[in-house]
């Protein structure tokens, strides 16, 4: 089996390439520049994944495409028209690749989408489900949803299987952005103002997400389905900070400020979006993923946090 993985040097894509290429599976990472290829001899260099990119010479004999490349969500987007910028890569670039893949006889197209297609938050009584009506709350989520819709239509007219995976926050060795900030906060001993948060959030360890992607490459029941994924162990923000502290062997120092006060401070500091995610709930139900694919998480949150914090500590300057 030949699998082509876009975003092959990214956080998720690199791990997919490293962990599913073995035996009868040949994995070809797609990277943007030669320096991203490093020593990997099978790398395919494609500088731009856009609406006009030519893919034909790379697709011959390819069975599955795992499409992880995207214009990712950022807290403060500086683009003059964020939705247009997201659409250029996440919708037009994705559909351009998928159409050429279908024409080349690629059997399956796995699209790494986002839980933001479902929405930005949930209530305690109602987690997101895979077959819920989409309700994206920002330009990034909307671009991912539009790509899903176009891919599903392409599948109907071409016969190429499309599999959509919508992960929540992904963490693991090498994680950056908000999760890295949380580890630094605890490791440096700074007071954590989230000691009184009673929300619930789903996360997914990189190992668990990659294992689901690997399953979707070959499982016949994955065809033309949408799947949610998580560690199946939801935690509050307070509990997540506590667990990070345990893994770092440096207990988190909590300051139990009222959430309303935390929001007010965040507004003054221009951090409303980041803090809103830490205070709000976002839970996913993976029952469909379990039942249809016979899949369950391969690592616990405890083990995944140990691996994540170990890499963080090992990568710090001595």
Catalytic residues: 140
Task: Please check whether residue 274 is in contact with residue 73, taking contact to mean a CB–CB distance below 8 angstroms.
Answer: no
Helices (H), 1-138: 11-20, 34-37, 56-59, 82-86, 94-103
Q: What phi and psi, each to the nearest 5 degrees, are found at residue 162? A: -125, 130
Give the angle 148-154-155 at the CA atoms, nearest 5°: 90
Q: Which two tokens stand for residue 134?
A: 């989409």
Return the C-alpha torsion angle 12, 18, 20, 22, nearest 10: 170
Residue 208 and residue 300: Cα distance in Å, rounded?
Answer: 9
Residue 151 burial (CB count, 10 A):
24
Give the angle 173-177-179 at the CA atoms, nearest 5°: 60
Coil, helix or strand at residue 191: strand
What one-character-per-residue DSSP string does 212-275 give?
HHHHHHH-GGGTTEEEE---S--B-HHHHHHHHHHHHTS--EE----HHHHHHHHHHHT-HHHH
Residue 284 and residue 288: Cα distance in Å, rounded?
Answer: 11
Task: Please check whether residue 253 is in contact with residue 317, taking contact to mean a CB–CB distance below 8 angstroms.
Answer: no
């Amino acid at each position: 089996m030949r699998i082509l993985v876009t975003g092959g040097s990214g956080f998720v894509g690199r791990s997919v390439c490293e962990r599913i290429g073995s035996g009868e599976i040949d994995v070809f990472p797609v990277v943007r520049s030669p320096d991203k290829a490093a020593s990997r001899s099978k790398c395919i260099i494609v500088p731009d994944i856009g609406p006009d990119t030519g893919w034909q010479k790379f697709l011959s004999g390819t069975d599955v495409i795992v499409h992880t490349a995207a214009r990712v969500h950022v807290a403060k987007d500086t683009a003059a028209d964020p939705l247009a910028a997201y659409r250029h890569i996440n919708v037009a670039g994705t559909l351009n690749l998928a159409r050429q893949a279908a024409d080349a006889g690629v059997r399956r197209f796995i699209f790494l989408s986002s839980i933001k297609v479902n929405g930005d938050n949930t209530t305690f009584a109602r987690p997101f489900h895979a077959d819920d009506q989409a309700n994206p709350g920002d330009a990034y989520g909307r671009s991912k949803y539009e790509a899903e819709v176009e891919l599903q239509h392409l599948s109907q007219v071409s016969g190429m299987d499309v599999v959509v995976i919508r992960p929540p926050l992904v963490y693991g060795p090498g994680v950056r952005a908000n999760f890295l900030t949380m580890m630094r906060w605890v490791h440096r001993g700074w007071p954590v103002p989230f000691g009184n948060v009673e929300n619930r959030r789903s996360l997914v360890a990189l190992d668990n997400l990659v294992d689901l992607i690997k399953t979707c490459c070959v499982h016949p029941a994955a065809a033309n389905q949408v799947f949610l994924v998580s560690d199946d162990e939801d935690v509050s923000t307070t509990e997540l900070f506590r667990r990070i502290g345990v893994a770092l062997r440096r207990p988190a120092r909590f300051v139990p400020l009222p959430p309303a006060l935390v929001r007010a401070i965040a507004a003054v500091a221009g951090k409303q979006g980041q803090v809103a995610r830490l205070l709000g709930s976002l839970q996913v139900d993976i029952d469909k993923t379990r039942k249809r694919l016979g899949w369950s998480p391969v690592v616990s949150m405890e083990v995944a946090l140990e691996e994540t914090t170990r890499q963080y500590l090992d990568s710090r300057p001595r």
